[in-house]
Amino acid sequence: MKMRRYKLFLMFCMAGLCLISFLHFFKTLSYVTFPRELASLSPNLVSSFFWNNAPVTPQASPEPGGPDLLRTPLYSHSPLLQPLSPSKATEELHRVDFVLPEDTTEYFVRTKAGGVCFKPGTRMLEKPSPGRTEEKPEVAEGSSARGPARRPTRHVLSTRERLGSRGTRRKWVECVCLPGWHGPSCGVPTVVQYSNLPTKERLVPREVPRRVINAININHEFDLLDVRFHELGDVVDAFVVCESNFTAYGEPRPLKFREMLTNGTFEYIRHKVLYVFLDHFPPGGRQDGWIADDYLRTFLTQDGVSRLRNLRPDDVFIIDDADEIPARDGVLFLKLYDGWTEPFAFHMRKSLYGFFWKQPGTLEVVSGCTMDMLQTVYGLDGIRLRRRQYYTMPNFRQYENRTGHILVQWSLGSPLHFAGWHCSWCFTPEGIYFKLVSAQNGDFPRWGDYEDKRDLNYIRSLIRTGGWFDGTQQEYPPADPSEHMYAPKYLLKNYDQFRYLLENPYREPKSNVEGGRRNQGSDGRPSAVRGKLDTVEG
């Protein structure tokens, strides 16, 4: 009798465990297309029971007869901080708080048929009107009263037209996407369309754009920082830049970036820069360089976030090394869409010494998530975000249960579709020398300890051949400047200023010397690069 009760008890326990596992399994599968299609057959019964599809930010329904443009709701802004007087600007730059403003840019337009189109990704039609020219999104329609039209490749939404007593008829409307843009609203860039994101069919435009915070540690990568500011300046809301008066090796260094901020070098972007000053070197960092390397990112994140005001939990945080530049389109997508999972990485094109030495594969480092996840899961520590798997963190399950979202790591781009650039050791020979002597005491062998490796003539030979400090040689040809994603657009538009990053300054193929000179225009840029830029700008 006791044995029978014991067996019944075990059976009930096993049944309970199976039921719990089944429910959790179904919730996880909600990120897969096929189960989600099954769930769509009975959304009220299954979808609402197993998962919550509501976006983080409530989506307001458009009012009938409202304006064509989707305008960001106007919130009562916190008063922006008043600029400091010149006498205090230098002294208190690292103590000033930064108030994140709302992004009121009109990214989407609503068509008369009810469609929502991403303006930069949609082919626009010009409709002349008295006194001015008005641009309207081009839409594809099918089965109209005037006869058959081009059948849209993807269904966006349907509207019903009254046909008297005969009933109703469907009218299919979709945005006509420009090359490089996808999705019903033409707001999904190629780097997302061909990524491993498992929730592509859940993507929906937001009514209120997220704010994007980009955090960087800076040593002497000022040209690449300038490129970052121009690539991301209109989509990033705050650049949190940390500078120390110590190198990663523990030697004193001047605060060059602080000087450039105050003398007007970066005046065009200063209103978006939050300056973080690290005035000490971590204990043990000289003996173990990885302590210093990790501490830089920990201090950057904690000090920077503590001085950001008006933050929201769903704002986006991205932490990069100074030589990692995400592509603008991918960052803009994160800002404007709901439905993607976290944390996320970027597939970046790898280069050495300059964009002319392209390395095989991509750099794929987890570098971003929402502010809510950064605080709850990673404890406001940027190095944990970059180097720790989220499922090893103690609070990741608590975060999933509270938000109702299953954490799934993914990467923007793919090995064939770059979502950014990683330009390693991309300096002049003098800049490489400074990087050698500034490197932390942990990434062994530390080439800066060898006198012959610090010789400028030796460094020039490495740039010329693409070789490495250990004597290995480059086994692949130089990259073609006309290839897609060769370098950020700002570099290509300012070819002469950044020529040392775009062309190998110490080597030119002998067979193409004359041809290369003939193919250069008056601006010094190769004709292939000029044609590529003309296509992009046109």
> Would you state the pLDDT for residue 366?
95
pTM comes to: 0.77
pLDDT digits (tens, 9 = 90+) for 285-307: 888 888 998 999 999 999 999 99
| Phi, psi at 460, each rounded to 5° | -60, -35
> Would you state the pLDDT for residue 258?
96
Could you state, in chain order, the average pLDDT of each consecutive group of 10 residues for the chain (538 residues)?
Answer: 73 78 57 42 36 39 40 34 45 89 93 87 66 57 40 37 41 78 96 96 95 97 98 98 93 95 96 96 87 94 97 97 98 98 97 95 94 97 93 94 93 96 97 93 83 95 95 87 94 96 83 48 60 55
Tell me the β-bridge partners of 308: 98
User: For residue 403, which of 33, 31, 54, 39 has the smallest C-alpha distance?
Assistant: 54
pLDDT mean across residues, the chain: 80
How many residues appear in the chain? 538
User: For residue 107, which of 212, 235, 14, 216 has the smallest C-alpha distance?
Assistant: 235
Angstrom distance (rounded) from CA 477 to CA 469: 19
Question: What are the structural domains of the chain?
Answer: 108-186 (no CATH), 208-424 (3.90.550)
Pull the structure tokens for residue 50: 């197993």
pLDDT digits (tens, 9 = 90+) for 389-442: 999 999 999 999 999 988 999 999 999 999 999 999 999 999 999 999 998 877
Cα-based distances in Å from 240 to 13, 243, 250, 323, 495:
52, 10, 22, 15, 28
